[in-house]
Amino acid sequence: MTDPVVGLVLEGRYLLEERLARGGMSTVYAATDLRLHRTVAVKVMAEHLAHDPTFVDRFTREARAAAMLSHPNVVSVSDQGSDQGLVFLVMELVRGRTLRDLLQARGRLTVAEAFAVLEPVLAGLTAAHRAGIVHRDIKPENVLIGADGVVKVADFGLARALTGTGQTSHTGGVLIGTVAYLSPEQLERGKADARSDVYAAGVVLYEMLTGHPPYGGDTPLAVAYQHVHHDMPTPSDEVPGLPWEVDELVARTTRREPAIRPLDAGAFLADLEDVRTDLGIERVPVPTGRSTATAETLRPTNRPSRPTRHTGEPGAPRTEVLGPGGTRPGRGSSRTSMLPGPGSGTDPGVRRPASERVRPGVPAHIRRRRARFALALVLLTAITIGAVGWWLGSGRWTTVPQLAGKEQAAAIDLLQEAGLTPDCCEEQFSEDVAEGVVISALPDGGEAIRGSDVRLVVSQGPERFEASPSLVGRPLDEVRAELRNVPVVTSEVQDYDNDVPVGHVTGFKPEAGTELMRDQELVIYVSRGHEPVAVPAVVGLSPEEATANLTALGFTVERTEGRSADVDPGEVMAVTPATGQQAAYKSTVTLQVSIGLPQVQVPDVVGRSQQEATALLQQAGLQVQVSQFFGDRVIRQSPAAGQTVDIGTSVTILLSFGQD
């Protein structure tokens, strides 16, 4: 069935051309980077997981973790993204096979071949550990062997950065990893550090030497139980003839107590090089062909041979004494020497000292070596028994140091020196304890069993909050919503602001960005809009000048007409609101423009005396001109009574004798 993803171009750059591998969580495709014209590998997350934030985070974490590393034995990651509903990351394409494929095809490897594969794996892990990254999922599937023999570590999807304790931990109560390679501390406490990768690499070494993992079971829980409660089996039990130094290397790197394993991959690599030198193992190419692991290719061991336990026999249990850290004492402590048979020249009823019970023809240097080995075995057994007694007595107890007031790193060092495991760290705010300093520990003193957890509470420093400067200028409702979860006491003050719209926040007191304590008062200033504007003096100006002045202040201008004796026609004679009064910004101001003098009606003065007529006309604002023939009564006026004339117009009255 054709893969529908093949042929897609992601982000306009990566053309997916061929499906290389498919797993439960992702599928890997060969692709062409159209921008750089190179072949890459693109890992695409399974569609049903693409909407799960946990798995998307794992993809992103893998990209970031691998991108931090630049090492020839680590698969490089160059890009990560999502397109067309697909979450993906872009990696270096390694043409070849995985170590799992090699083991399935070969069964097992020789010591030299196993070292040839493991050395570059440890070199790549050393670079990761020095960068503060723990892989957490070392297994044959994640070891890639290129067609050119280059070995690379892949799949940093479970990688985590080390915390201040030098450990990582699982999240959400879910233990992730491959149970066949997980260390006891990962299975018991969900914690991992560089020594956890060392354990997994030791398991991989065992599998390369024997052709299978050390533990099997019907369920993952059964396998996990054996990792936690059993010491690692010895490879030479499965493959007789393996050097005992190789057995010891596997045992050292897979001890159940992480404190007595090599510190990190670099220390493991140094131990491996020491074993290579001691045994004189020559360097061989990384294996890619058929197996050469035959009896003739195995190096002879200088360790005493042991009988092979056959699968058809009942499981013969071995009684072993375990040291305080779960170490395995030297073998042979439970063996009995075989008595010589008839014809040997000795009395079978007499038990001779071990130094005298020798086989004919055994060289002297072999006898001396065996004697030294027997003595070392006795001493080791005595030391082991003493250590177990010490451990079961007072040795398993230690004193919890006083940690309050110590720097976090110093507190962790003190706990580790006391043989305790730091459970780090719960963080709390404190007004009295500086950031990074231990506030308290649980337990905070007294005796505790070695290896038990001590919970550290570390100060985050004073608890502070702030009103972000980005809130200034935003609507009040939005600001209230943003500050709803900030534990400060807020109050609101309305104020004019010429630049911020009505109902928007103009600022804070203390000002935005200031660190605030819990329950501290925070004043929110809210704009009432533009402050009122005083109406300028525009009377006597032309309408155009007055309008320009008012518009510049934000007013809207309306115009009316009027008459004025004091203002020339065509000029502003009045303004409403009046000059100097405060008016709302963008409100309307009315200009009254003069069109001439005021007008009045000419009063009727006919029949009146000159004196009376003159008084009425002047009272109306008119001027009087008199024409007199005879008499003092007005017999005619001009303009006539009732006419409308400009104030100040001259009215002529004609006097004569009138009739009473």
Which residues have a catalytic role annotated?
137
Q: How far apart are CA 235 and CA 451, in angstroms?
A: 29
- The number of beta carbons lying within 10 Å of the beta carbon of residue 382 is 11
Residue 294, token pair as written in the block: 């035959």
DSSP for 329-349?
A: PPTTTT--PPPP-TTSSS-TT
Contact criterion met (CB below 8 Å) for 428 and 406: no
DSSP conformation class of 74: B
Residue 502, token pair as written in the block: 């009505």
Q: Exposed, middle or buried, 552 (CB in 10 Å: 0-12/13-18/19+)?
A: exposed
**Minimal CA–CA distance to 298: which of 142, 485, 109, 425?**
109
Q: Which residue has the tokens 């695409």?
A: 44
Q: Where are the alpha helices (DSSP H) in 533-627?
A: 543-552, 610-619
Paired with 644 in beta bridges are 601
What CA–CA distances, in Å, run from 595 to 183, 306, 598, 649? 104, 132, 9, 17
DSSP conformation class of 392: I
The 650-656 sheet, strands edge to edge:
623-628, 650-656, 633-638
Residue 396, token pair as written in the block: 């398993």
Q: How far apart are CA 78 and CA 73, in angstroms?
A: 15
Please confirm whether the linkage preceding 287 is cis (ω < 30° from 0). no
β-pairing verdict for 521-527 and 505-509: antiparallel
DSSP for 101-167?
A: HHHHHHS---HHHHHHHHHHHHHHHHHHHHTTEE----SGGGEEEETTS-EEE---TT-EE--TTS-
Contact criterion met (CB below 8 Å) for 432 and 463: no
Query: For residue 251, which amino acid is it?
Result: A
Q: Exposed, middle or buried, 74 (CB in 10 Å: 0-12/13-18/19+)?
A: buried
Q: Where are the alpha helices (DSSP H) in 44-91?
A: 53-67
* 3-state secondary structure at position 6: coil
Q: How far apart are CA 458 and CA 460, in angstroms?
A: 7
Q: How far apart are CA 28 and CA 92, in angstroms?
A: 11
